[in-house]
Structures are given as structure tokens and as C-alpha cells.
Structure 1
Amino acid sequence: MIERVRAVLVTADDTMLVIRRTRPGIPEYWVLPGGGVEPDDASREAALHREIHEEIAGKADIIRLLHAMESDDERQLFYLARIATWSFEDRTGPEFNAEGRGEYALEEIPLTPEGLDGIDLKPEEIAQVLRGAVSTGSLGNGAPR
């Protein structure tokens, strides 16, 4: 089974970092930073730290596991994390140079129902989880008050 880790990266300004994906022939959509757990990763959290470093040259404090999704062949784990510094220009992930992968743009969006409604965050299940948590104030430590 493939395992993927992704982060809901909350900034000091209580915004969330997301990556806008633009690909030919597909409506633009947004994803959370993260990627596959590799065999040499010491843990899922270590994989997430590696992915955050590769994708946005950032360093995050992981707060907790927020949500898990599983299908027949894939498990995705979504973590709530705080991030203070990042540099999209210094990213190193191999996907950024792969031919035919489209464009990647890092954006900050308000971590509010309106901010989440303004983007097409994939997968839809995590978008719904975030909308519910933001609306009820249940993100807890690491999220806006």
C-alpha cells in the first residue's frame, strides 16, 4: 500500500499554505504540501518533514494527526502543523522539474470558511474536514482562535 503524508501548514498570520496546481486541460486545483513516504524515511513524520523541506524549503512543527483517508491501494495522512519560515524559490522536489507535470504555485489562503470555499482543495474529503473544523473551532492547538 502506498502511504502519503500531507500537512495543513498554519502560518503565524493564521493563513494556510497550499499549492495551486495548473495542468493543461484540467481546471486548476489546490493541494496541501506533502508526498509519498519513502522506504528510508524513519517515520511518517520524518517523511513529512522531508517533503516540506523539498516542496517549500520550510521547517514545520507538527502538532498532531488531523485526518486519515484510505482506499484499497493508498493511505493518506493529513497532519496539522505550524510553520514560521519557508521559501518556495528554494524548493528542491523532483516533481518541479519533471516534464509535463504542469505548474506549482505556493499560496497563502485565509484559514476561514470563506478562504476554503474560494479554492478547489483536493482531495475533497480533506477540504470538508477542514471546513468543518474551522467552522466549529475544533482544529485546536496550532490553529486560529
Structure 2
Amino acid sequence: MRIRHKARAVLLDHDHLVFLKRGWPGGDSYCTTVGGSVEPGDADLEAALRREAMEEIGGTIGPATEFLTLTEPGATTTVVEHYFLADLLDMDLSRRHGPELGDPDTGDFAPVRVPLSRPAVAALNLQPPALAEHVLRHVDAWGAA
């Protein structure tokens, strides 16, 4: 059985959260976190997270704190997703790069800023559901921090 680790981030941008809006022609769109698989060249989960933030949104992030781990058992590979909370220090879409940008099967993905509030998060169709539940439970505290 193989285990694949992913590093993902809920990004705080002052009084907003930053997610990725995903979608394919003819399908429903949804939001998810910035992040992806840990690559062999990544020193650790946080290094993978920083690389993914640059690739997907051209962003740099501050210190990251892990707040949730979700495990998806599969027939041949178990995926372990590590979710972090981090401040978004800057974002410049012209710095985006990586294999996702040129792959038509990836679909569209673009950063979306939403107010740091329960109603705004509830309206997102944030995936996966366990992440959405966790964010809804904690968004008020994150806003007060």
C-alpha cells in the first residue's frame, strides 16, 4: 500500500480567506484549498505547501500551522491530506507556474477571496465536506485572532 501526502492551506488575507475556485465546462464549480502532493524534492510538508502556493496562485505565505489531517484510504494508494492555516503575504498571478496551468484536464482554477465570516464560507461549496465543517466551526475564532 502506497501513501501519498498532500499539503493544503486555508489562507488568511487580513479580513478575507483565499481559496481556489475550480470548475470544468458543464460542471458545477466548487472551492478548495491551495495545495497539492508532496514532491520528492520538497524538504517537508511546509516546503511543499510554499511551492504549491507559488505554483497555483503566485503567492508567498507566512508561517503555517497544521490544523486538520484527513485520510482517504484507496485500493492501491492512501492519500493523507495535511491542512494548514497561513497568512498570505502576497499574491501575483503572473508568477503562477506548474503542470496544472497547461493541462486541459485540470479545468479552470482561480483564486477567490471571501470575507472571513460563516455566511461567506457556507456559500462557497467548499470541498471536501470535512474541511468545510472544520472551517465553519473555526472561522469566527480565526477572524478574532
Q: TM-score, normalised by structure 2?
A: 0.89
Aligned to 1:61: 62
- Check the 8 A contact 2:54/2:95 in 1, yes or no: no
Match of 1:26 in 2: 27
Q: What is the letter of the counterpart of residue 56 of structure 1?
A: I
Cα distance 1:63–1:100, how it changes in 2: closer, same or farther (>3 A)?
Answer: closer
Over the aligned positions, Cα root-mean-square deviation in angstroms equals 1.2
CA deviations over 1:72-118 (Å, ceiling 9, x no partner): 21100000000121012321021011023221121100121011111
Q: Deviations over 1:3-46 (max 9, x none)?
A: 1110010012x201111111134211011100000111100111
Aligned to 1:101: 106
- Deviating runs (4+, > 2 A) in structure 1? none
In the alignment, structure 2 segments of 5+ residues that lack a partner are none
Give distance in 1, aligned partners of 2:20 and 2:96: 12
Structure 2 match to 1:117:
122
> In the alignment, is residue 84 of structure 1 matched against residue 84 of structure 2?
no
8 Å CA contact 1:5, 1:44 repeated in 2 = yes
Separation in structure 1 between the aligned mates of residue 5 and residue 111 of structure 2, nearest angstrom:
23
The answer for the alignment partner of 1:7 in structure 2 is 9
Aligned to 1:140: none
How many residues align? The count is 138
Mapped contact 1:62–1:79 kept (Cα < 8 A): no
Larger mean Cα displacement after TM superposition, 119-128 or 57-66: 57-66
Amino acid of the structure 1 residue aligned with 2:38: V
Deviation at 1:63, TM superposition (A): 3.5
Q: Note the residue ranges of structure 1 that are not aligned, 5 or more in a row.
A: 138-142
